[in-house]
Every structure is written in structure tokens, then in C-alpha cells.
Amino acid sequence: MKILNVDQIRALDQSTIQHEPIAPINLMERAALAFVDWFADHFPATMTTKIFCGLGNNGGDGLAIARLLLEREYPIEIYVVRYAPRESDDFMHNHRRLKLVTENVRYIELSHDIPAIRHNEIVIDAILGSGLSRPTEGIVKSTIEAINRAPATVVAVDIASGLYTDQPNAPTDVIIEPDYTITFQLPKLAFVLPKNGRYVGDWQIVDIQLHKRYIDLAPTPYYFTQARDARLLLHKRDRFSNKGSFGHALLYVGSYGKIGAAVLAARACLRSGVGLLTVQVPGCGYNILQTAVPEAMCLPDKNQQVLTGQSEVESSDPAEYTTVGIGPGIGKAPETLVMLRELLRTLKKPIVVDADALNLLSENSNLLDKLPRNSILTPHPKEFERLTEKWDNDYQKLTILREFAKKYKVIVVLKGAYSAIATPDGDIHFNSTGNPGLSTGGTGDVLTGILTALLAQGYDPIEAAVLGVFSHGLAGDRAAEQRGPIGMTASDVVDSLRWD
């Protein structure tokens, strides 16, 4: 699914109005109805609902929502924040419609007009939407502050008032802090950026049937991967396949004290459909790996503690494997750096690079140019910062991320909530699955195993990254269902992997 910018969202509105065709007021009615359907599914008509409307189309939505909720017999109190002399046409139209149903519309012009809000009430925020063009101030700001102070449940219409859709807010900006955001048709870039978490809450998209062809043709670098997008990427297995059909992967993982990382990556790789798996671990990991992961072949390194690439048994050429994954638990020993340098000299096919392999790259940045084209790098934000530079805000981080992926012609999975996958073409795919239960040691190792397995099976590297990150998050969601987000572990994520 695409993420469009504010100008495109406005144009999409117009395109829908022209092509469907539909009158703007009826499109607003459709949006209000979609919101009210969601709202009625979540809140009983016994709860007092205070709705705050601005003077633009977000406020117009609010007035239509108020009327529809009155029809459904919600005890609703309607407030219009009168911060300017002019209202939008559709606001006025809905204002007239509402007046036919109720006289009970109150106006907030000064602070003392702001009502007290109690804890068992619901607040609907329809003050400002995607038309935000400057920081909130005056009575708008005071109203938002009062709503944020109140103990009520807050639901934002389309986007929290005061939050920009696709540009950074200043730290001093006053913005609604909703429990829920119900947004129209498409996700907004602001929703997937870490600093905005409290200004978004749980968010959901409601479909208001905006012009599909406009969306299909609209150029954008930003995508949001949902289940239906991921499902399209999954390769079906041929009935006459054999283990040779699904590649032979080689993992370089583990060091003394971190053989667990090797086990997790190996188990995840096998659970993700690889045909054959060989794992190179330091000598100390041999017995552990052979016992914990009997399905994998094991190459014990000559060195007991760290990886050097020199094997105790027959030496194998890493270039002969379908793909290589490197990093989880390997440490940053000088011998391991020598191994990484040698691997990058010989490997030409895309590989997966994680954890300390990334830290070695950031300390030896001349190696970045040697990464095979379309390799997948999986840094968490700290690792990415070491590879690049500090950023001032999430939008600048996205710019740095895109530039990095383009410059080195690699795919970068910047991990976290809504992991951002940057491609060499400059696109970014945000992931929709996963939960805070994944914030626990070892889940990144699991991801490396998954991605290595997908590359081994011949997935296009961008598709491997998008599908692998989605499935990893989904496994995390299943593990959280079983164990709860606090009790789940990285092993539970491996056990929860499914590919159907």
C-alpha cells in the first residue's frame, strides 16, 4: 500500500470528486460514516462524547460525525473552536445540516469556553487535519492542551490536530495525544515515525473509496507493507521440488559466550524454508550447534573463541553457497575483520549483513564499497547511526537512509517499530507487523536467519527483505498472542514462523 504526501492526498480528493463523480459534501459524508462505523464498533452509545471541530474540512468531518452519532443516539456535546473568521464551504454546509438536527452547538473562542472533560468520557478531535500549515497557537493550542490534560479517551479524526502529515514538528509544538487515530484511505508518513508515537496512538485506516487509479499512478517513495502485499511475494513450492531447489545457505555466526545468536539464526533460517544450511561457528560452538540444531551442518572454525573463516574440517569456498549471512554474535576481533574483508573480496552475490559485521563495517568504512550489490543490511538505529551520522529528526533519518541505500546499492532494513526498508532505487517500505515484545535479545538474529533463507531460495533481494521483515513481525505477533509481549522470547518468534 502506498503512503502519499499532503499535496497528493488533496489531489486524490479532487480526482475522486471529478472521476467518480461525487459532490465534495457527499465525499465528506462518506468519510464521516466510515469513522462512525468504526466508532460505534468500539464505544457504546452510553458514553458521553465531546467532539471538538475546527473550521476546515477536518472540522466539517467532525460536524457530519456529530450528526451521524446523534442519529445513533449517542449523548454528544458539540464544540466548534472558532479560531478564525472563515470556515470552509463544506464545513458551512455541514453546519447547516447539523443545525436542522440540533441547536446544541457550542463555540470556543476564549479559554473559559473550554468545557471540563471527565475520565469516563470520549473526546473526538476534529480540530485540524491534513491541512495543518503552521504550529497551533491561541485558542486552538489551549483547547488541545485541555484535551491532553483530560483523563478521557481521545479519538483523532484522520490525524491528530497539530501533527504534520509529512514534515517534522518542532519539539515545542502542541499536538493532540490521542488513544486512537482513525485515518482516511491511506496511512500517513507521520504515523510510522518513532518520535510521533504519542501523537498517533493505535491507528487504523478506514476505506472511503477514493479514486483507485489515482493512487495506482501516484509516484511515491513510501510504501506500507500489509498482509495482502506480503502474500503476493510468497513463492509457491513446486510439487516436484527437492532440497536442492531451495538453495544452500552459509551462516557466519557466534563467538564465545554468544553461540545462542548462532542457534537462533540457524533455527530461523531452517524454519524459513532454506534447502540446506551450513553454519560456521567458532570451535567452542560446535557441540552446542550440532545438538541444538541437528538439521544444520556445522563447520567449526579453527579458532575456539571467534570466527576467522579458517575451518577445522575441509575448507569450503563461501562463493559456492547460494548465499551467505553474517553477523549475529560474531564480535569484532581482528581475525574476524580479516575474515569479513576476505569474504567481501570474493563474494559477488547478495548477502545478509547484521550486528557486529555492521559494526566492523562502520569502523572500516572503506569496506562499504565492497558489499555485493543488493546485499541486505539489518542495522538497528544505533548500528545505523554508527554507519552514517546522527540525525536531528525522523525525517532527516529517512533522507540519510535513502541516500545510504542508493550510494552503496544495498537494501537497508532499519529495524524498530515499523522497520523501514530502503532500496537502492530510493524507495522505503515500512513494515506493519511486530510489537514491543520483539524488543528482546535475539530477535534480530532471528531476522538474519530468515532473510538468509529467503535469499537462498532465490527471492529477489528487495522482496526477500519486505517479505522477511513482515513474516518476522507476524511471528512476533503470534508469539505475543501465545505468551504475551513481556514473556515472549526470540525462540518463541522462531517457533511462531509460518509461511502460508
Ligand X SMILES: Nc1ncnc2c1ncn2[C@@H]1O[C@H](COP(=O)(O)OP(=O)(O)O)[C@@H](O)[C@H]1O
Q: Catalog residues that contact ligand NAX under the rule CB under 6 A.
A: 9, 12-13, 27-28, 31, 54, 56-59, 61, 83, 88, 128-136, 140, 157-159, 184-185, 210
Q: Which does 130 bind (CB under 5 to 8 A by kind): K ion, ligand X, ligand NAX, none?
A: ligand NAX
Burial class (CB in 10 A: 0-12, 13-18, 19+), 226: middle
Q: Which does 453 bind (CB under 5 to 8 A by kind): ligand NAX, K ion, ligand X, none?
A: none
DSSP 3: -
Closest to 323 measured CA to CA, from 155, 441, 417, 450: 450
* 58 and 126 Cβ atoms separated by less than 8 Å: yes
Residue 128 CB, shortest distance to K ion, in Å, is 6
Is 58 labelled as part of a ligand binding site? yes
Does 327 bind ligand X (CB under 6 A)? Our answer is no
Closest to 483 measured CA to CA, from 432, 433, 444, 440: 440
Is 444 labelled as part of a ligand binding site? yes
Q: Which does 436 bind (CB under 5 to 8 A by kind): ligand X, K ion, ligand NAX, none?
A: ligand X
- Find the binder of K ion among 61, 87, 90, 125 (CB under 5 A): 125
| Pick 192 or 249: Cβ nearer ligand NAX | 192
Neighbours of 400 (CB within 10 A): 18
Is 244 labelled as part of a ligand binding site? no
Question: 50: which strand partners?
Answer: 77, 123
Q: Strand, coil or helix: what is 370?
A: helix
Find the part of the chain contacting ligand X (CB under 6 A) among 112-120, 238-246, 298-306, 433-441.
433-441
Residue 161 CB, shortest distance to ligand NAX, in Å, is 8
Q: Strand, coil or helix: what is 384?
A: helix
Is 417 labelled as part of a ligand binding site? yes
21: preceding bond cis by omega (within 30 degrees)? yes
Does 416 bind ligand X (CB under 6 A)? Our answer is yes
> Residue 366 and residue 363: Cα distance in Å, rounded?
9
Who's near 46: CB < 8 A, 6+ residues apart? 75
DSSP 311: B
Is 257 labelled as part of a ligand binding site? no
Does 63 bind K ion (CB under 5 A)? Our answer is no
Does 435 bind ligand X (CB under 6 A)? Our answer is yes
| Pick 140 or 480: Cβ nearer ligand X | 480
Is 415 labelled as part of a ligand binding site? yes
By CB under 6 A, the residues from 458 to 477 that bind ligand X are 472-473
Q: Which does 156 bind (CB under 5 to 8 A by kind): K ion, ligand NAX, ligand X, none?
A: K ion
Cβ burial 186-224 (10 Å sphere, 16+ → b, else e): bbbbbbbbeebeebbbebebbebebbeebbeebeebbbb
Does 260 bind ligand X (CB under 6 A)? Our answer is no
Q: Which does 439 bind (CB under 5 to 8 A by kind): K ion, ligand X, ligand NAX, none?
A: ligand X
Q: Which does 125 bind (CB under 5 to 8 A by kind): ligand NAX, ligand X, K ion, none?
A: K ion
Q: Strand, coil or helix: what is 394?
A: helix
Question: 430: which strand partners?
Answer: 224, 420
Binding site for K ion (CB under 5 A): 58, 125, 129, 156-157, 161
Binding residues: 57-61, 125, 129-135, 158, 161, 261, 329, 380, 415-419, 444-445
